[in-house]
């Protein structure tokens, strides 16, 4: 009984809704047309975002490789060669950054910032590490940005040549944001710590102290910024403290052991120790 | 440049950034207050007594939107226009609420979906990013989705108030809206989560329509209207 009623109600409803759609067919197609526009707009935006994420990932990978390469300076006699090789790699990374700049042409950098921030940070880390090994100073934000200027005349000529009055004048720039710079430098401290420990292992007596001074300077800088900076910066401050205390401990040990035995012998102690460690690792 | 110099330069930049954000936050707070006032005005349409004077409520809301325009104009002066997305998070939420309110007013007036152009006219923003302070498309869509849940409430309450025709019209409208949203390829983002809530609104309205149909209430009122 009730079932039949229910069926009847359903049928009635169906016919009604058919009538209604007929009535509203105009507004409906308008609405659908509007949503088709939205669809395109969102798709374009998402596609761009995805392309940027991909570029950022490539930048991260290449920057990490460069950093690994740079770590070899502690164990290789010819530092210059390693630095040059790293510079070639960094040039490739810069080309990728140039592609990001191209994607962002005429766009709001911050709209897509999340897509490429990690890659840019990694690049800052690599380039500042390279700079430190070469000059023993902290690279400035201007210096980083100065190398991220790209000439794009060829492409402009072929694509929209007619609109460009002076071919070759198209200059693309990429600006690393202050936050990305800070976060990259914070990551750099981790690399410096690693470099310090490995140079101790290699019997280099000066680099650890130099590094510890530099790290302290950076640490002081970060403490100066403190909690006023972005959230991510304060998060990295903890890791920075850990790295710093590791380096300071290493310097302390060097000093204490250094007073016990002459320098050249101390180097032997450290290197034989690392040799032993290597053996231990090799056995199992 | 020494390390210390570098850090103090960055600190300078960061504190300038903080100042801008502080300014924006203040204006946004005022804007949120106005949005709440508009909402209060519009909430009365859910009351049985409020049903009769929907037009006057809409007029009142429209007046308040003038205040919104002035406040948004004030907001525009607080930051460089090309850095909209740097501070987007600050006004994102309130713009979604305002879009919802504008869409709700337009729906109550004409029972149609507000276009993006209309919203920008009501709020005093631009449509295109290039022209200045604009309404982000995702914020517009999010605002529309907030309206959908408000309409499902309205469907329920209009039955309580004795208006059996409105739920049917709302049902059609929401179904169209749903098929519109189905066209979009949403990513796994907040907008997507909002959209996932739409099906519950659709369901709720369908239940109301079902209840009315099964009891012949909708028909009854139409017949009364014919007499």
Structural domain boundaries enclosing A86? 42-142
Nearest-angstrom CA–CA distance, B146 and B182: 16
Q: Give the CATH number, domain containing residue A124.
A: 1.20.58.190
Q: Would you state the torsion angle of the CA atoms of residues A195, A196, A202, A205, taken in this order, to the nearest 10 degrees? A: 140
Residues A170, A154: Cα–Cα separation, whole Å: 9
Contacts of B82 in chain A (CB under 8 A): 108
Q: What is the ipTM of this complex?
A: 0.87
Span A166-217, pLDDT tens digits: 555 678 889 999 999 999 999 999 999 999 888 877 777 788 899 999 999 9
Domain regions of chain B by residue span: 3-226
Rounded to whole angstroms, the Cα distance separating A125 from A140 reads 12
- Which of B:208-227 have CB within 8 Å of A? 209-210, 213-214, 218-219
> 10 Å Cβ neighbour count for A220?
12
Residue ending a domain, among A122, A142, A162, is A142
Name residue, tokens 């994420």: A53
User: Higher-confidence residue: A153 or B2?
Assistant: B2
Would residue A23 count as lying in a domain?
Answer: no
In a domain, A222, yes or no: yes
Q: Please, what is the Cα angle at B17 between B11 and B18, to 5 degrees?
A: 90
Total number of domains constituting chain A: 2
Q: Is B109 annotated as a binding residue?
A: no
Percentage of chain A exceeding pLDDT 70: 75
Cβ(B138)–Cβ(B184) below 8 Å: no
Distance CA A88, CA A94 (A): 10
Distance from CA of B79 to the nearest CA of A (A): 14
Which chain B residues have a beta carbon less than 8 Å from that of A39? 183-185
Q: Tell how strand A171-173 and strand A149-151 pair up.
A: antiparallel
| Token duo for residue B45 | 């349409």
The closest alpha carbon to B117, from A37, A242, A165, A254, belongs to A37
pLDDT of residue B85 exceeding 90, the answer is yes
Give the pLDDT of residue A153: 60
SS3 of A214-267: the string is HHHHHHHHHHHHHHHCCHHHHHHHHHHHHHHHHHHHHHHHHHHHHHHCCHHHHH
Q: How far apart are CA A122 and CA A63, in angstroms?
A: 6
Residue A243 lies in a domain: yes
The answer to whether residue A9 is domain-embedded is no
Residues A114 and A181 in one domain: no
| A102 occurs within a structural domain | yes
Sequence-distant (≥ 6) Cβ neighbours of residue B193 within 8 angstroms: none
* H/E segment holding residue A173: strand A171-173
pLDDT tier at B225, thresholds 50, 70, 90:
low
Of A166, A163, A84, nearest in space to A130 by CA: A84
Minimum distance, in Å, between the CA of residue A224 and any CA atom of chain B = 8
Does B142 have pLDDT greater than 60? yes
Q: Find all residues with CB under 8 Å of B13, minimum gap 6, and list them.
A: A178
Tokens of B132: 């200045």
Query: In chain B, which residue's Cα lies nearest the Cα of A138?
Result: B3
On whether residue A161 sits in a domain, the answer given is no
Helices (H) and strands (E) in chain A, counts: 10, 2
pLDDT digits (tens, 9 = 90+) for A81-128: 999 999 999 999 999 999 999 999 888 889 999 999 999 999 999 999
Q: Give the angle B177-B179-B185 at the CA atoms, nearest 5°.
A: 105
CATH of the domain spanning B3-226: 1.20.58.190
Residues 224-253 in A contacting B (C-alpha not used; CB under 8 Å):
224-225, 228-230
Is B172's Cβ below 8 Å from some Cβ in A? yes
CB count within 10 Å of CB B166 equals 18
Nearest to B112 by CA among B159, B161, B174: B174
């Amino acid at each position: 009984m009730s079932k039949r009623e229910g069926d009847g109600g359903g049928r009635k409803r169906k016919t009604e809704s058919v009538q209604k759609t007929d009535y509203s067919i105009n507004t409906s197609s308008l609405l659908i047309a509007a949503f088709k526009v939205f669809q395109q707009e969102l798709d374009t935006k998402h596609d761009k975002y995805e392309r940027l994420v991909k570029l950022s990932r490539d930048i991260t990978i290449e920057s990490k490789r460069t950093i690994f390469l740079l770590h070899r300076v502690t164990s290789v006699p010819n530092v210059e060669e390693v630095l040059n090789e790293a510079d070639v790699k960094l040039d490739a990374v810069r080309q990728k950054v140039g592609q990001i700049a191209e994607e962002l042409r005429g766009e709001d950098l911050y709209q897509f910032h999340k897509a490429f921030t990690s890659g840019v940070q990694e690049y800052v880390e690599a380039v500042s590490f390279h700079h430190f090994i070469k000059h023993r100073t902290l690279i400035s934000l201007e210096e980083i940005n100065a190398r991220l200027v790209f000439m794009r005349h060829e492409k402009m000529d072929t694509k929209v040549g007619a609109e460009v009055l002076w071919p070759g004048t198209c200059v693309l720039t990429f600006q690393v944001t202050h936050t990305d710079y800070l976060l990259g430098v914070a990551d750099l401290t981790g690399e410096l710590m690693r470099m310090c420990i490995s140079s101790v292992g290699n019997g280099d007596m000066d680099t650890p102290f130099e590094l510890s001074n530099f790290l302290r300077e950076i640490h002081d800088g970060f403490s100066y910024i403190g909690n006023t900076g972005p959230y991510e910066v304060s998060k990295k401050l903890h890791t920075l403290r850990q790295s710093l205390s590791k380096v300071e401990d290493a310097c302390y040990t060097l000093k204490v052991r250094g007073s016990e035995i002459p320098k050249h012998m101390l180097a032997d102690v450290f290197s034989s120790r690392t040799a032993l460690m290597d053996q231990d690792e090799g056995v199992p | 440049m020494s390390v210390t110099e570098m850090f103090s330069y960055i600190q300078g930049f960061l504190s300038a950034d903080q100042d801008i954000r502080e300014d924006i936050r203040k204006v946004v707070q005022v804007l949120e207050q106005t949005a709440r006032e508009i909402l209060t005005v519009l909430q009365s349409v859910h009351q049985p007594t409020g049903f009769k004077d929907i037009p006057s409520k809409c007029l009142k809301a429209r007046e308040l939107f003038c205040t919104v325009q002035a406040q948004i104009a004030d907001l525009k002066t607080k930051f460089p226009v090309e850095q909209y997305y740097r501070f987007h998070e600050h006004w994102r939420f309130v713009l979604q609420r305002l879009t919802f309110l504008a869409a709700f007013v337009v729906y109550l007036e004409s029972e149609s979906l507000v276009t993006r152009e209309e919203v920008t006219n009501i709020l005093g923003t631009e449509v295109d990013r290039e022209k200045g302070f604009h309404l982000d498309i995702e914020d517009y869509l999010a605002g529309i989705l907030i309206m959908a849940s408000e309409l499902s409430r309205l469907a329920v309450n209009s039955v309580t108030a004795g208006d059996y025709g409105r739920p049917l019209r709302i049902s059609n409208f929401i179904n169209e809206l749903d098929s519109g949203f189905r066209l979009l390829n949403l990513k796994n983002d907040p907008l997507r989560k909002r959209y996932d809530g739409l099906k519950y609104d659709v369901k709720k309205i369908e239940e109301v329509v079902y209840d009315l149909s099964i009891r012949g209430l909708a028909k009854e009122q139409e017949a009364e209207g014919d007499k």
